[in-house]
Structures are given as structure tokens and as C-alpha cells.
Structure 1
Amino acid sequence: MGFGQDLRNSHEGLIKLQDWELKLLETVKRFMTLRVKSDKEYASLLLNICQQVDKHDNSSQIHYISTVSKSWAHMVQQTEQLSKIMKSHAEELNSGPLHRLTMMIKDKQQVKRSYQSVHQQIEFELNKVTKTDLEKLKGTYRQLSKDAHSAKEKYKEAVVKGREPEKARERYDKATMKLHNLHNQYVLAVRSAQLHQEHYHESALPLLLDSLQKMQEEMVSALKGILEEYSEITSLLTDEIVKVHKEIHTSIDQIDPASEYDNFIEMYGSPETKEPNVEFDVSLLEETENLQANEILWNNLTADSLQALLKCTTEELLLTQQSLRSKEDLMLDLQSKIEESAKTSRFCY
């Protein structure tokens, strides 16, 4: 199971998951912050108690060697040492796990923002190419079809009545040329939309979701390390606390980044729904002649336009290939930097 395979239609669920995890991390952060505060206060209270005992003992008028007194003095000394250990642990907890957890929350917030931004961008591009742009062309197509049909009727009428048939023919040819050129543009736009739709469902969206899952799992792994360090720092090794921390270790050891989202995927997983294929609107051809769906029309009216389009497209293809090679080099460089950054992040966490 994986995000890119099973969660293609679960965007809202993924947002809820990230919000829930951020709240969880904030709860863990508040817990650790209070633990640091309480441990420092406890250490301070222990030290204060020891100092009060020292004042009392120094004011005593009885001076003799007593095993009880020696044992008591040793107990006080060990309690003062415990105070120092508790203070040291609190500072270590604050500068270690708590600091890394704070940085992780910021990173996770950035991951969420980046995911939402990229998802919104590719959704917008898909909608623009497969819907908005095509609807505009279809509207123009219908209008030009009507214009061509009207020009044709007027030309027939002019021929019958003998009223400037040459001008009517010229207007008819111009209207037909516009329609044919627009027809070609629409055919190309439909194919472009089909390719964009295929790329979105088979590549862009799955890659985005798989990248998100990888980041999620890496942060789960980092959080596991933070909790393990927290457990080590706060352990006092008494029988009672050792038992508690064994339970903590057991629960932490059960964290498995690779299977962390299995249950979530089962709950929010959805079967892939195939969108209707983008097709040529054959209703546009009802009032036209010699026009075929999904076929480029080459004639004396469209030849110049198609040749110009071919030249322009060829030039754009060369530029795109050059840009693609440049971006591939940049992608390899960025991928190398990301891998190095990921190694550094795991080390820091």
C-alpha cells in the first residue's frame, strides 16, 4: 500500500491527517515543556530542602560521632546529588529532544504548506488545460461555425440573385478559413488535454503523494528517536520508574514507520475513479462540411497557418528539449542536495 497508489482521491483525508499529527506534536511539545519545568522545580526544591537541613545540623549544640548521623548526612548528600542530576537532565531534555521537536514541528508545517501548494498548482493546471481552455475554444468554434454557415447561405443567395457574388464568396472563404484554423487548434488542444490528464493521473499526482509519504515516514522515524532519547534522559532507574519506562520502551519499539499509515490507508483508501476521457465535441460539426473529428484539415485555406504552426512548434520543441535537459541537470543536483539534507536532518533529529 502507498499514498500514490491508494490515496489519489483522498486529499481532504491527507490534510486532516497532517493537521492531526501537528496537534499531536504540539501536545508532545507541551508535555515535554512541562516535564522540563517540573524537573527543574523538583531539583530546586530538593536543593532547598538539603540547604535547610544543613542549616539545622550546623546549629546543633551536640557534637559526637553517630552512625545514624553519618547515614543521615550521606542521605542528604545523595539527595543533593540527585538534585544536580535532575537539573542536568532537565537542561539536557530542553536542549535535546524538546529543541529537536520544536524544529520538527516547523518542518512538518512547511511540508504541509508545500504539499497544499503543489497539489493546488497541479489541480489548477489540470482544470485549466482539460476544462477552461477547451470550453473557450468550443465557444469560439460554435460561433465561427455559425458565421461560416451564415456566410455560405449569403453566398448562395448572392449567386442566385447575381448581387456581388465575388464579395460574398470572399466573405464565405474568410469565414471558412477562420473555422478551419480554429478546428485545427481545437484538435490539438484536445490532444494536449488528453496527454495532460494522463500525465496528471499516472505521474504528477502519484509522485507528489509518494514524496509526501516518504517525508511523513521520515518524520515518524525522527519522532521515534526523540521519544527514545526522552525516555533515556528522564529515566531514574528506580524499580518503580524502571517498570514505567519499560512500558514506554515497549510502546516506542512498536513504532514502525513503514507500517505507520497502514490503518489510515485502509480507512481513507478509495478506488481509483477514472475521469471521463476528453473527446472531440462532435456536435460542433453539425453545421459544417468536410470537417472530421480529431483530424487536422489541410487545404489551401489552412496550409499557411499549419506551416507557420509547424515551424513555431518545431522551434518550441527545440527550446523545450534544451530546457528539459537543463532542468534534468538541475533536478539531479537538487536530488543530491535533498538526499544530503535528509541525512543531516536524520542526524540532527
Structure 2
Amino acid sequence: MGFGGDLKYSHDALLKLQDWELRLLETVKKFMVMRVKSDKEYASTLQNLCNQVDKESACQLDYISNVSKSWLLVVQQTEQLSKIMKTHAEDLNSGPLHRLTMMIKDKQQVKKSFVGVHQQIEAEMYKVTKTELEKLKSSYRQLIKEVNSAKEKYKEAVAKGKETEKAKDRCEKATMKLHMLHNQYVLALKGAQLHQHQYYDTTLPLLLDSLQKMQEEMIKALKGILDEYSEITSLVTEEIVNVHKDIQTSVEQIDPNSEYNDFIDTHRSSEVVEQEIEFDTSLLEENENLQANEIMWNNLTAESLQVMLKTVIEELMQTQQTLLSKEKLVSELEKKIEESSKTCEKKSDIVLLLSQKQALEELKQTVQQLRCSEAKFAAQKELLEQKVQENDGKEPPPVVNYEEDARSVTSMDKKDKVSRFDTIRHSIAGIIRSPKSMLGSSS
């Protein structure tokens, strides 16, 4: 039972929970402020009473009076009680109340971080699995129309015997663009499929578990604050002791590990089976030369595949280097927190570690996002390497078979080759732009 496994679709409930807890902490803070003020005023009142009694009792008796001795003892103990109450008020102000103020800021930061990361990964999820794929599919359909149109114009040119080379060149260029876009779509689809699985199986659950961990840490810290509050304000009279026993009992019942069990039961969301992201086969209805989920290797794409592979390998290496760096930071921060926790003298000192623990959780979230990127790049690299390796040393097959006396496609002039290579490079940039952007924000 946990946030990651049971609250994937309960975002609004989690936000309401955090808002409610922040209001509760503000109420507790207001209560403690008033308690400090009240105790100080009470101590001052007791001291004023004792001072007044001392003035009125200045006249010394010429005999030993047991009543006077008892009364003097009462006054002395009352004055001592005044000092104790004043000390307690100062301890309450510098201890639990100060820690609670820090904790409220930390909790606000936890909420801000959670909302920010959730929006980021949700937006990235929508971008990768929806926006980018729809954009590619729209371009895909348009290019298919252009290819079919170019073929028709080529047939007309052949039939008329006019400008056949020009028509063939247009047809070839349109086909090249389509095949390159097809490869982009296959790679983007692969990345989107993996991104979706990572999002629902790892990324989102990790974020929710991270939130639960910090929520429980906050509960643990609040328990320490209330425990220290109880110790400071506890007195020895039977009536007050009974009151504080009730407080102590209620505080002892706080268990960070089971704090959210009832909340989870109330707001548990039903498991939703996410639709698999698959190749849109409708894109191939008007073109028989392309295959779903297959990288196209031919005389029009062989060069671009090499560039794609090199680019993906570079991005994978960069991601892995960043990942190692972040994992090292996680290890170092975990060790630092462990060492710092051993030096905590008071129960409420755990609040001093909350910001570090939150930083650790944010680092872990960054590591997970980098692992997601690493997996996507690795999958795309494998897809490209497989196609490149299985065709190593082979001559790329031509895409379009023209009449036997037509000149070879490879006879295009040097200027056309440069133009095609530039087109390839610009197309590749569209594939890797999204992962690079995410890596930049994570670092």
C-alpha cells in the first residue's frame, strides 16, 4: 500500500491533502504562538505577585512563625514556578515553535516541488506520446500525397516524353523525404512507447512514492515537535499531568508509516490499463513500399541512418555521463544525511534534515528521468544498429524502379547530394530535440 501503487490517478486528492496539512500546521503554529505569549504573561503575573507579597511582608516578626515560614515557602515556590514557566516559554519559542516555522516552509517547498515535477513529467508525457506523434503523422500523410502526386506527374511526363528527368527527380526527392520521415516516426514511436511504460510503471510511481516519503518524514518531524512541546509544557500537578498524559498519549499514537493508510483507502484510484502506442498502419494504406516498425534502408536513407546512429550514440553517452554524475550525488547526499542524523540531539532536530532529504528525493527523480532517457536512446540505438549492421557492406537498394534505360539514381550531381545531406541533418535534429531538452532541465 503506497502512493505510487495506489494513487496514480488521484492527483487532486493529493493536492487537497497537502493543502489541508499546511492549514493544520499553520493552526498548530498559531496555537504555539499564543501558548508562548500566555506562558510569558502567566510567568510575569506570578513574578509581580511575588514582588508585591515581598513588599507587604517586609516587616519582620520577632518570633518564628510556622505560618510565615509556610507562606514564605509558598511565595518562594511560586517565584520558582514563575521562573520555570518563563524558561518553558522561551524553550517553546526557540525549540518547537521555531522548528515548526521551518517545517511549514519545507512543506510548502515539498508541495511546490511535487507540483512542478508532476507538471513537467505530465507535459513531457503528453508531448512525447501525443503532440510529437500527431505532428509526425500529419507530415507523414502530407508526404504520401506528395509522393503519389510526384509519381503521377512522372508517369505523365514519360507518356508525353517531356521533362522525364525533372519529374523523376521530383519523385525521388519526395520519396526520400517520406522515407526519412517514416524513420523519424518509427524512432519517435519507439521512444513514446517506452516513455509511456516508464511514466506509468516507474516515473510517476517514483514521484508519488517520493512524495509519500517526504509526507511521512514531515509527520515524523511533526511528531518530534509535538513530543518536545509536550515535554516542555508538561507540569507536575495532577490535573495538568492528566491533561498532558492525554496529549502524550495522542502524540504517541502518531505513526508516520501508517498515517496515510486511511487516506489511501478513501482515495484509492482504480487501475487503468493504458493503451499501447502502436504504429498507425493507416499511414501505409497508400504506400506499399514502407513497413510498420521497420527502419527503411535504401539508397535514399543509408546515409541518414549513419548520421542518426552517430547522433543517438552521442546523446546516449552524454545521458549516461550525466546519470553517473547524478547517481554519485545521490550516494554522497545519502551518506551526508545518515551522518547528520546521528548528531541530532533533540527529537525536533530532524526538521533540520528535511531540506536535504527533499533535495535527495528531487535528485532521485532526476536520476529516474535520466534512466528513462537512457533507455529510450538505447532502444533507438539498437534499432538503428541492427539495421545498419545487417546491411553492412551491402549496396543500398534503389527505392523506385524506373525504366531500364533511365539513368541511375546515383548520378545526381554534387550540389544535389549536399542539399540532401543538409536535409538529413535537419530532420535528425527533430528526433533528438525533446530528449536533449529534458536532459538540460534535469541537470
Same fold (TM over 0.5): yes
Residue type of the alignment partner of 2:243 = V
Residue type of the alignment partner of 1:22 = L
Deviation at 1:313, TM superposition (A): 2.5
For 2:175, the equivalent position in structure 1 comes to: 176
Matches within 5 A, 1:36-75: 36-58=36-58, 64-75=63-74
Q: Distance in 1 between matches of 2:40 and 2:154?
A: 96
Q: Distance in 1 between matches of 2:325 and 2:224?
A: 39
Instruction: Give aligned pairs, total.
Output: 348
Q: TM-score, normalised by structure 2?
A: 0.74
Q: Distance in 1 between matches of 2:342 and 2:11?
A: 28
Instruction: Report the CA distance shift for 1:2/1:343 in structure 2 as closer, same or farther (over 3 A).
Output: farther
Q: TM-score, normalised by structure 1?
A: 0.93
Instruction: Report the CA distance shift for 1:163/1:321 in structure 2 as closer, same or farther (over 3 A).
Output: same
8 Å CA contact retained: 2:227, 2:251: yes
**Contiguous gaps of at least 5 residues in structure 1:** none
For 2:163, the equivalent position in structure 1 comes to: 164
For 1:21, the equivalent position in structure 2 comes to: 21
Deviation at 1:319, TM superposition (A): 3.6
Instruction: Report the CA distance shift for 1:344/1:28 in structure 2 as closer, same or farther (over 3 A).
Output: farther
Deviation at 1:68, TM superposition (A): 2.2
Instruction: Report the CA distance shift for 1:49/1:266 in structure 2 as closer, same or farther (over 3 A).
Output: same
Which deviates the most, 128-137 or 271-280?
Answer: 271-280
For 1:187, the equivalent position in structure 2 comes to: 186
Deviation at 1:125, TM superposition (A): 1.3
Q: Distance in 2 between matches of 1:95 and 1:150?
A: 80
8 Å CA contact retained: 2:47, 2:82: yes
For 2:217, the equivalent position in structure 1 comes to: 218
For 2:233, the equivalent position in structure 1 comes to: 234
Matches within 5 A, 1:1-349: 1-58=1-58, 64-340=63-339, 348-349=349-350
**SS state at 2:188 partner:** helix
1:128-164 residue CA offsets vs partner (Å, 9 max, x unmatched): 1111111211121111111111111111111222222
1:99-152 residue CA offsets vs partner (Å, 9 max, x unmatched): 111111111111111111211111121111111111211121111111111111
Deviation at 1:327, TM superposition (A): 3.4
1:152-178 residue CA offsets vs partner (Å, 9 max, x unmatched): 111111122222222111111111111
1:213-254 residue CA offsets vs partner (Å, 9 max, x unmatched): 111112211211211111111111111111111111111111
Residue type of the alignment partner of 2:65 = S
Deviation at 1:54, TM superposition (A): 1.9
Q: Distance in 2 between matches of 1:50 and 1:309?
A: 88
Deviation at 1:323, TM superposition (A): 3.6
Which deviates the most, 297-306 or 41-50?
Answer: 297-306
Instruction: Report the CA distance shift for 1:338/1:285 in structure 2 as closer, same or farther (over 3 A).
Output: farther
**Contiguous gaps of at least 5 residues in structure 2:** 351-443
**SS state at 1:276 partner:** coil
Q: In angstroms, what is the RMSD of aligned CA positions?
A: 1.9
Residue type of the alignment partner of 1:269 = R
Residue type of the alignment partner of 2:7 = L
Which deviates the most, 8-17 or 281-290?
Answer: 281-290
Instruction: Report the CA distance shift for 1:264/1:151 in structure 2 as closer, same or farther (over 3 A).
Output: same
Residue type of the alignment partner of 1:3 = F
Percent identity (aligned)? 70
Instruction: Report the CA distance shift for 1:36/1:320 in structure 2 as closer, same or farther (over 3 A).
Output: closer
Residue type of the alignment partner of 1:2 = G
Q: Distance in 1 between matches of 2:263 and 2:181?
A: 49
**SS state at 2:257 partner:** helix
Q: Which has the higher contact order (CA 8 A, sep 6+)?
A: 1
Deviation at 1:184, TM superposition (A): 0.9
Residue type of the alignment partner of 1:9 = Y
Instruction: Report the CA distance shift for 1:342/1:153 in structure 2 as closer, same or farther (over 3 A).
Output: farther
